[in-house]
Amino acid sequence: MTDPVRRAFVWSYQQPTLLALITMLCWAGNFIAARGVRADVPPITLAMIRWVGAFVVLLPFAWPHLKRDLPTILRRWRIMLVLSVIGIACFNTFAYIGLQYTVAMNAVLLQSSMPVLIALVVFATYRETPTLFQVIGVAVSLTGVIYVVVRGDPAVLLTLDLNRGDLWLLAAMFSWAAYTAWLRESPQIHWLSFLVATFFIGCLVLSPFWAMELAAGRTVNPTWAAAAASLYMVLFPAVIAYTCYNRAVQLAGANWVAPFFHLIPVLGSILAILILGERIQFYHALGFVLVMSGIAIASRRKTSGAPV
């Protein structure tokens, strides 16, 4: 790594806003990709592909740090197991199962509940309350999300049809909220050691359920779309996004990062415009302004909290 690149990386690693933005950009296409290949890749298999792939990609870089941090990981095995179960094994698997049965609109709206769920878990665990700016910011950005999702027509909300897939997605959201809130309890080890260890433990937890899925006859239908989606999920929602997200929470706190989740549907719309050639509409612009305004308001003050 050259000196300018190293300096840029070091600088970026200290910028919670930039890290949160990169995270949400990587996650903007996650649910879309998963729903697009639901007929070709079973949900637990998709999760295993994601985490095994991420583990293989990062292991060569993490190995020197992992050897040094292994005693600490073993000593703090309980919190490592908890974070691996809720943040690696449960969250994405529950979401991928839910996407087998629900529609994209329901998924986006449920995902938009994340800031509220994170605040609830943080309060329940640490008795920390979000600041007034964060409450107002979340309300404003949530309004923008809903406006984009319903394409400027609030009456669309009356047509929503909840199903069992939505329950799986809600369980996924609660799982991720707990992961975010409890990241501060993770051991003081190198970030690569933490990622590789949680990916590995998450794969171990998922393995018996994956075996049951395969035994039930649910196998992969190898298509180019499935291969592309799998590669995307390994590199962007897993490796890059988890690196940036964990660091952003470490620097700024869970409640501060939470409103950035409202960027995901907006960024998804922008990607559709840029990549798929969709036309920009008024509701895109207004929703984007509301979301960014809400995030700006919520980011005015950081919650106090111990670093990860």
What pLDDT shows up at residue 200? 97
Q: How many CB atoms lie within 10 A of CB 231?
A: 12
What pLDDT shows up at residue 263? 87
Q: Considering the domain boundaries, does residue 250 fall inside one?
A: yes
Task: Report helix, strand or coil for 103.
Answer: coil
pLDDT at 236 over 90: yes
Q: How far apart are CA 181 and CA 308, in angstroms?
A: 10
By mean pLDDT, which of 189-203, 239-253, 263-277 is the weakest?
Answer: 263-277
Tokens 């609660």, residue located: 174
DSSP for 236-297 reads IIIIIHHHHHHHHHHHH-HHHHGGGGGHHHHHHHHHHHHHH-PPP-HHHHHHHHHHHHHHHH
Q: Considering the domain boundaries, does residue 290 fall inside one?
A: yes
- Residue 302 contacts by C-beta under 8 Å, 6 or more apart in sequence? 252, 253, 256
**Structure tokens of 57?**
């990609």
Most confidently modeled range among 138-142, 198-202, 225-229, 250-254? 198-202
| pTM of the model as a whole | 0.86
pLDDT at 75 over 60: yes
Domain range for 108 is 13-298
Positive/negative CA dihedral, 220, 32, 109, 131? positive
Number of domains in the chain: 1
Q: Considering the domain boundaries, does residue 280 fall inside one?
A: yes
Stretch 276-300: mean pLDDT: 78
What pLDDT shows up at residue 303? 40
Q: Considering the domain boundaries, does residue 128 fall inside one?
A: yes
Q: Considering the domain boundaries, does residue 304 fall inside one?
A: no
Q: Considering the domain boundaries, does residue 92 fall inside one?
A: yes
- Residue 127 contacts by C-beta under 8 Å, 6 or more apart in sequence? none
Q: Residue 1: pLDDT band by 50, 70, 90 thresholds?
A: low
Q: How many CB atoms lie within 10 A of CB 57?
A: 16
| Contact status, residue 87 vs residue 198, Cβ threshold 8 Å | yes
What pLDDT shows up at residue 295? 85
Stretch 28-41: mean pLDDT: 80
Angle (deg, nearest 10), helices 43-75 and 77-84: 160
DSSP for 141-203 reads HHHHHHHHHTTT-GGGGGG----HHHHHHHHHHHHHHHHHHHGGGS-S--HHHHHHHHHHHHH
Q: Considering the domain boundaries, does residue 192 fall inside one?
A: yes
Mean predicted lDDT score pLDDT of the chain: 86
Q: Write the CA distances from 80 to 13, 47, 84, integer angstroms.
A: 23, 19, 6
pLDDT at 106 over 80: no
Q: How far apart are CA 157 and CA 108, in angstroms?
A: 12
Tokens 């996004």, residue located: 241
By mean pLDDT, which of 122-136, 160-174, 191-205, 236-250 is the weakest?
Answer: 160-174
Q: What are phi and psi of 8, to 5 degrees?
A: -65, -40
Q: Residue 243: pLDDT band by 50, 70, 90 thresholds?
A: very high
Q: Considering the domain boundaries, does residue 303 fall inside one?
A: no
pLDDT at 199 over 90: yes
Rg of the chain, C-alpha, whole Å: 19
